[in-house]
Amino acid sequence: MIPEPLRNQLSEDPFYKKCCITGHKNERIEFHHNLIFAGKQVNRKFCILPLLQSVHRNIVKYREKCDWIMWNRATREEREEFSKAINIDYRLGYLNEKYGEY
Domain count, the chain: 1
pLDDT in tens, 23-67: 999 999 999 999 999 899 999 999 999 999 999 999 999 999 999
**pLDDT at residue 36, as a whole number:** 93
**pLDDT at residue 61, as a whole number:** 97
Query: Does residue 93 register a pLDDT over 80?
Result: yes
- Print the SS3 string covering 21-35: CCCCCCCCEEEEECC
- Cβ count near 94 (within 10 Å): 13
pLDDT in tens, 4-32: 999 999 999 999 999 999 999 999 999 99
- Cβ count near 5 (within 10 Å): 9
Residue 57 to residue 61: CA distance in whole angstroms: 9
Whole domain around residue 55: which residue ranges? 4-99
The single-letter DSSP state of residue 82 is: T
Residue 100 to residue 20: CA distance in whole angstroms: 15
